[in-house]
């Protein structure tokens, strides 16, 4: 049996557009006609399948992109959403009922953290935040009410790598679902193949890669994805985070180059992380042997796509972090902006921005200090030239 390869799977997908176009036609309709009234009734009653009804439910363009994402993640099915947060919140609200409990990694994207900490409790869903790289902590936090274990493959912003294989065993043993956010590492990790039940992404990042839209996806079993679109109790259907067809179509085209982009992002980040670490700076990057989960990652990843496009540099305090970012922007190394996974290098200091939702004492506990700069490396052609520029600016900051 040949080894699972997300890039080959996408390459093997063949769609013909309505008129034989090499890209599928874009659906420009919010609603769909039925030739017979009884067929429409059958769709609502769940007796008729395969008909399009209304674009918040499904439309052909979203279906094409979803099929490609399911191929990429090796899941039976997938759906697309208007944002990564739309994907995460819909998946969690579909899985959890009042009084259910979640065990989640404490180092996760700030918006997800805020959802678990402040929003989900309104519906009686409470979370325990643990270090998911410590499997004993995960086991100890599980209660009879635990429904979900949640983590990011490579976490935002500390770049901790979760051991998906072991976490999935814990989830199965305790009858809960392992939900993994794979935003930082599409193609690099195939969490479903390692045992995850549900895989989510912010497609705003690497998958689309162009910094021109916000989008998300949920990948999982056919049964789970179908449940999300149930007209009576499906989170995607009832909360309505639908992605516009024009965006779906452009993301599908960008997905076709994702494998090449991931390799270049990883190559560039490895070059910078290795060079700056050699210069004596404190760098967090899973590709470095000094990274605590370097070996874990090597045992789980799809090697040809590398260790990812993000690294963190510790500038010790926020003044130096800010000075470095401003110098790098002035010199067009990249942009001082949140988000990541773009063709262009993007950097921000997560302590004061994308992780500011996490209370200060918890940030201190996880090592997320105000001097950290998270850098998402772009598709620079000459990465040695970029390294020389960054080094010059770090030295100037002192």
Q: Where on the chain is the footprint of ligand PLP (CB under 6 A)?
A: 83-85, 109, 111-112, 152, 156, 181, 183, 202, 204, 214, 216
Min CB(301)–ligand PLP separation in Å: 17
Q: Which of 70, 49, 86, 56 is nearest to 202 (CA)?
A: 86
Residue 62 vs 112, nearer CB to ligand PLP: 112
Looking at the Cβ atoms of 88 and 390, the one nearer to ligand PLP is 88
Burial of 295 (0-12, 13-18, 19+ CB in 10 A): exposed
**Which residue's Cβ lies closest to ligand PLP?**
84
The minimum distance between CB 5 and ligand PLP, in angstroms, equals 24
373 beta partners: 313
- CA 396 centroid distance within chain: 35
Helix axes 318-330, 383-397, angle to 10 degrees: 140
Residue 82 beta carbon to ligand PLP: minimum distance, rounded to whole angstroms: 8
Angle at 138 between CA 296 and CA 224, to 5 degrees: 90
Nearer to ligand PLP, 77 or 185 (CB): 185
CA distance 319 to 201: 33
Whichever of 24 and 110 has its CB closer to ligand PLP, that residue is: 110
CB of 83 to ligand PLP, least distance (A): 3
Shortest distance in whole angstroms from residue 339 CB to ligand PLP:
6
Q: What is the closest distance, in whole angstroms, from the C-beta atom of residue 156 to ligand PLP in the complex?
A: 4
Q: Between 127 and 202, whose beta carbon lies closer to ligand PLP?
A: 202
**Pick 368 or 383: Cβ nearer ligand PLP:** 368
156 vs 266 by CB, closer to ligand PLP: 156
- Residue 392: CB minimum distance to ligand PLP, A: 29
Q: What whole-number distance in Å separates Cα of residue 292 and Cα of residue 367?
A: 13
Q: How far is the CB of 134 from ligand PLP (least distance, A)?
A: 20
**Which CB, 215 or 277, lies closer to ligand PLP?**
215
CB-CB neighbours of 306 under 10 Å: 22
């Amino acid at each position: 049996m040949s080894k699972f390869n997300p890039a080959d799977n996408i390459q093997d997908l063949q769609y013909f557009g309505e008129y034989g176009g090499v890209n599928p036609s874009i659906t420009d309709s919010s609603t769909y006609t039925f030739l017979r009234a009884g067929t429409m009734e059958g769709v609502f009653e769940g007796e008729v399948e395969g008909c399009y009804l209304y674009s918040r439910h499904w439309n052909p363009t979203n279906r094409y992109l979803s099929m490609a994402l399911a191929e990429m993640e090796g899941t039976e099915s997938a759906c697309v959403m208007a944002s990564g947060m739309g994907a995460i919140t819909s998946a969690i609200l579909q899985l959890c009922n009042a009084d259910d409990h979640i065990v989640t990694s404490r180092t996760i994207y700030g918006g997800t953290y805020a959802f678990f900490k402040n929003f989900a409790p309104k519906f009686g869903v409470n979370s325990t935040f643990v270090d998911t790289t410590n499997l004993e902590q995960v086991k100890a936090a599980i209660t009879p009410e635990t429904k979900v274990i949640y983590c990011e493959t490579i976490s935002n912003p500390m770049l901790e790598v979760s051991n998906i294989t072991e976490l999935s065993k814990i989830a199965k043993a305790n009858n809960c679902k392992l939900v993994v956010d794979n935003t930082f590492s599409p193609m690099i990790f195939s969490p479903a193949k390692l045992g995850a039940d549900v895989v989510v992404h912010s497609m705003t990042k690497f998958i689309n890669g162009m910094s021109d839209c916000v989008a998300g996806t949920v990948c999982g079993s056919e049964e789970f994805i179908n449940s999300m679109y149930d007209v009576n109790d499906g989170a995607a259907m009832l909360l309505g985070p639908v992605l516009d067809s024009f965006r779906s179509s452009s993301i599908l085209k960008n997905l076709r180059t994702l494998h090449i982009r991931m390799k270049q992002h990883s190559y560039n980040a490895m070059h910078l992380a290795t060079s700056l670490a050699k210069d004596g700076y404190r760098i967090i990057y899973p590709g470095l042997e000094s990274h605590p989960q370097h070996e874990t990652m090597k045992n789980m990843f799809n090697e040809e796509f590398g260790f990812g496009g993000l690294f963190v540099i510790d500038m010790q305090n926020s003044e130096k972090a800010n000075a470095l970012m401003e110098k790098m922007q002035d010199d067009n190394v990249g942009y001082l902006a949140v988000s990541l996974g773009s063709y262009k290098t993007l950097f921000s200091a997560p302590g004061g921005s994308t992780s500011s939702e996490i209370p200060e004492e918890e940030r201190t506990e996880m090592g997320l200090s105000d001097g950290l700069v998270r850098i998402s490396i772009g598709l620079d052609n000459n990465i040695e030239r970029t390294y020389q520029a960054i080094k010059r600016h770090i030295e100037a900051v002192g």
